[in-house]
């Protein structure tokens, strides 16, 4: 392998109501609200980050909540099911919890020797609770709505819906450090290492299915980890051989990113592990205050006044 990657860094999606979004991901899934900031390209709307205790790469689910945005459409050329890893022994506990809270789900089903519960968030995103062999060895966050032993540890992985998987598979294996490790019921599995957060990407060829459409309930992009700028540059160089365009590096305050659209249609990002979410507030207080990048600080009062209340996570 010419590049090093450790899998997924974060996943970013479109939501409609920010309050419902915060409620579901903190109270129902039990994730930590690790950063409250604005969309750096549109400071009139939030960018909300959820994750484990520190928001480490492989655990970070982020949303652009746009009140009133139209629902998107599930389909090809998109990242669809987002899997959240819990210990295999916790799947029964989760099934009971979801049932008791009136949240509809399917499963558990077996896939690659894992147990999977499938549900939807308030905007219609496909959410999977995945019982894995390795999650029990990773500490769960003890400060959330879900007891630490059953808590979501981070991503198990993500599933892309594609009309044709071959070109996407090449990007994963030749630029992003993944290897194909198996297939199950029409699903090809790619892994970047094993036994850790976010190391799995599944490709599902769903030819004949209509193309997806961005909107509420649809993933906007998925980001892969780079240990530092040099690793990112190397991965971007490999990607340039396979895709038409890779952007210059953009500073996102909590990481530095480059973006490209992979041949199957999904927007990919490569994000650095550093500096992380403790760069502008201590870990003990992550997510409590609205954080703004320096260029927007002079306009804080106006920005705050225009943003909707989020309620109590």
Cβ closest to Zn ion, residue 176 vs residue 223? 223
Cβ closest to Zn ion, residue 196 vs residue 269? 269
Task: Compute the Cα dihedral for 122, 124, 125, 128 and give only its sign.
Answer: positive
CB of 258 to Zn ion, least distance (A): 10
Q: How far apart are CA 17 and CA 282, in angstroms?
A: 28
Cβ closest to Zn ion, residue 165 vs residue 223? 223
Mapped onto helix, strand or coil, the DSSP state of residue 263 is: coil
CB of 12 to Zn ion, least distance (A): 5
CB of 142 to Zn ion, least distance (A): 28
Cβ closest to Zn ion, residue 158 vs residue 223? 223
Q: How far apart are CA 132 and CA 113, in angstroms?
A: 8
Nearest to 229 by CA among 257, 209, 203: 257
Q: How far apart are CA 141 and CA 52, in angstroms?
A: 6
CB of 265 to Zn ion, least distance (A): 17
Contacts of 16 (CB under 8 A, 6+ apart): 65, 66, 67, 68, 69, 71, 122, 123, 216
Cβ closest to Zn ion, residue 146 vs residue 226? 226
CB of 262 to Zn ion, least distance (A): 14
CA distances from 313 to 23, 134, 256 (A): 6, 28, 28
| Residues lying near Zn ion in the complex (CB under 5 A) | 12, 223, 269
């Amino acid at each position: 392998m010419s590049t090093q990657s450790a899998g997924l860094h974060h996943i970013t999606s479109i939501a409609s109501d920010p309050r419902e979004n915060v409620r579901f991901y903190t109270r129902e899934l039990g994730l930590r609200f690790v950063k409250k900031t604005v969309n750096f390209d549109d400071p009139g709307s939030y960018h909300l980050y959820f994750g484990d205790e520190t928001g480490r790469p492989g655990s970070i689910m982020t949303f652009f909540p746009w009140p009133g945005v139209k629902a998107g459409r599930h389909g090809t050329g998109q990242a669809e099911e987002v899997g959240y890893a819990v210990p295999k022994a916790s799947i029964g506990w989760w099934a009971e919890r979801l049932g008791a809270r009136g949240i509809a789900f399917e499963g558990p089903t077996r896939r690659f020797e894992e147990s999977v519960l499938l549900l939807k968030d308030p905007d219609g995103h496909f959410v999977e609770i995945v019982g894995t062999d390795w999650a029990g060895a990773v500490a769960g966050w003890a400060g959330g709505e879900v007891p630490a032993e059953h808590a979501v540890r981070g991503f198990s992985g993500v599933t892309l819906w594609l009309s044709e998987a071959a070109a996407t598979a090449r990007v994963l294996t030749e630029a992003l450090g993944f290897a194909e490790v198996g297939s199950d019921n029409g699903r090809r599995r790619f892994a970047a290492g094993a036994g850790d957060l976010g190391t799995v990407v599944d490709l599902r060829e769903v030819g004949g299915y209509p193309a997806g459409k961005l909107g509420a309930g649809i993933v906007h992009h998925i980001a892969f980890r780079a240990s530092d700028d040099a690793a990112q540059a190397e991965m971007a160089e490999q990607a340039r051989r396979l895709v038409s365009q890779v952007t210059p590096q953009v500073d996102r305050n909590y990481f530095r990113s480059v973006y490209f659209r992979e041949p199957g249609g999904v927007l990919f990002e490569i994000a650095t592990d550093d500096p992380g979410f403790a760069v502008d507030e201590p870990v003990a207080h992550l997510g409590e205050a609205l954080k703004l990048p320096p260029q927007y600080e002079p306009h804080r009062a106006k920005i705050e006044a225009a943003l909707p209340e989020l309620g109590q996570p």
